Amino acid sequence: APGYWRGIGWYRKHFKLASEYSGKQVFLEFEGTGTVAEFWLNGQRVGEHKGSYTSFEFDVTEYVRFGETENVLTAKVDNLFRDTLPPTVKTDYTFYGGIYRDVWLRLSEPTYVSEVIWFTPSVSENAAALKIQSRLANKSSAAKELTLVQDVLDPHGALVKSVSMPVRIPPRETVEVTQDGGTVTNPLLWSPDAPHLYRIRTSLHAGARVVDALENPLGFRWFKFDSQRGFFLNGKRVQVQGTNWHQVYPGMGNALPNSRHAKDMEIIRAMGVNFWRTSHYPHDPATMEASDRLGLMVWEELPVNKEIGDPHEYTANVLTMAEEMIRRDRNHPCIMVWGLAGEVNAPQSVAKKVIGAVAARYRQLDLSRPVAMHEPRGEEIEALVDVTGLGVGKETDEKHRQFPNRPYLVA
C-alpha cells in the first residue's frame, strides 16, 4: 500500500558483563521482533527467528565475554513480504517491523529451571487437584543432586502447599519431572468477577543454597462451551461480552510500553468486557498478566489467515509459532481458547491441511483448552476445531440448527 514501508533494519547494542558473572549461563530473551530477525554476538552468528508476535530466547553463553571487554550484539530485522510466514497480506492492521517489545538479558547458574507447567486434573469449590511438571537443565560437566521445591502461594501471598523431591540431573542433559501437588481445599476460584490469582514458586536447592527460582501464575477454574446453553465457568453460565484489540496506539505504532498495555486492558474491563480476542496474533506478555489480574478471559490466536504460500513451509512456521505461544502463555488462567484468525484464502484442500495440522499441535501441547477459529469458511474446516466464530445473522442461526452440537461464538 502507498506509504507502507517494508524493509530491513539494523540494531547494535554494546554492553559489559562483570567478571563476577563468569561461569553463569547467559540468555537473551526477545518478547517480539517483526518479522524475521537474525542475531550476531561478538561477530558470531547466534541464530534466527521467524514471526512477529511470539517470544523466543537464545542461550549465548558460548559467545559472551566477561570483564572489561565490551560485548556487541548485532540484529538484522526485516518485515519484508513472505507468503510462507503469516500474516501474509495486509488486512485490518499494519505490519510494523523491528524490535518493538522488551528484550531481557537473563543470567542463571549452569543448572536451572527451564520451564514449569501446572495442571489441575479436577477442580471444584471444595477441592482442586494439582500437578506440576518441571524441565530442569544442567549445562555443566558434572551430575547434580538437588532438591526441587514447589511452593503454592494464595492470592494474599500466604503459603498453602509445599512439595519437594530429590532430583538427579546428568551432565549436559535436561530432565522432566512431575510432582503431585496434592489437593488444595476450598480453593478461591478464578473468574471475571473474582480473579483470584495464586502463584507457584519453583526453586532448585543444593543443601541450603537456592540454585534457581521462578514464579508462575496459577488459577483454579473449570469451564466449557456448551453448544445449546452457552459458556459455563465454575459451573455457572457466564454471558460472554467480548471485544477485539490490536497492539497499536497513536504515535507509538506497535512499540507500546507495558504500562500502556495494562492501561488498555483496564479500559477494556471498565467498559464491561469480560472476554477479548487477541486479534490477530499473540500479544505482549503484559496483556496476559493484566488479564489474569483483571479477570479478562482471553481467546489467544495465531495469524493463520488470508494467503498461504508453499503449504509445507507455511505449516512448519506456524507450528513453531504455536509451540512458542503455548509455551509462553499456557500457565495464565485467563486463557480459555487457543485460536486461529481464520478467513483463509486458499484452496479447501490446502486450508484443511494447514488448519488440521495446527489444531492437532494445539491439542498435543494443551488438551485443557478448546481450539477455536473465526470464519472457517466451510463445514469441513469447522469440523477440525472445537469452537467456531461467526458473525451475527440468520445464516449463523441456520448453521447452528444444522449443527446443534457445535458451539458457536458470534461477533
Tell me whether residue 109 is one of the annotated catalytic residues. no
pLDDT at site 93: 82
In sequence order, the 6+-apart residues with CB closer than 8 A to the CB of 147 are 164, 165, 166, 167, 204, 205, 206
In the chain, the amino acid numbered 28 is: L
Cβ–Cβ < 8 Å for 409, 387: yes
In sequence order, the 6+-apart residues with CB closer than 8 A to the CB of 59 are 25, 26, 27, 139
pLDDT at site 5: 81
Q: What is the mean pLDDT of each run of 10 residues along the chain (411 residues)?
A: 78 98 98 97 98 98 97 97 89 87 98 98 98 98 98 98 98 98 97 98 97 98 96 98 94 95 98 96 98 98 94 98 98 98 93 97 98 94 96 92 93 80
In sequence order, the 6+-apart residues with CB closer than 8 A to the CB of 123 are 129, 187, 189, 220, 221, 222
Q: How far apart are CA 327 and CA 307, in angstroms?
A: 26
Q: Compute the Cα dihedral for 224, 282, 357, 94 and give only its sign.
A: positive
CB atoms within 10 A of CB 40: 16
| Neighbour order of strands in the sheet with 144-153 | 159-169, 144-153, 198-206, 209-218
In the chain, the amino acid numbered 281 is: Y
- pTM of the entire predicted model: 0.97
Query: What is the 3-state secondary structure of the chain?
Result: CCCCCCCEEEEEEEECCCHHHCCCEEEEEECCEECEEEEEECCEEEEEEECCCCCEEEECCCCCCCCCCCEEEEEEEECCCCCCCCCCCCCCCCCCCEECCCEEEEEECCEEEEEEEEECCCECCCEEEEEEEEEEEECCCCCEEEEEEEEEECCCCCEEEEEEEEEEECCCEEEEEEEEEEEEECCCEECCCCECCEEEEEEEEECCEEEEEEEEEECECCEEEECCCEEEECCEECCCCEEECCCCECCCECCCCHHHHHHHHHHHHHCCCCEEECCCCCCCHHHHHHHHHHCCEEEEEECCCEECCCHHHHHHHHHHHHHHHHHHHCCCCCEEEEEECCCEECCHHHHHHHHHHHHHHHHHHCCCCCEEEECCCCHHHHCCCCEEEECCCHHHHHHHHHCCCCCEEEC
Catalytic residue among 38, 57, 115, 343: 343
CB atoms within 10 A of CB 332: 20
Q: How far apart are CA 160 and CA 236, in angstroms?
A: 26
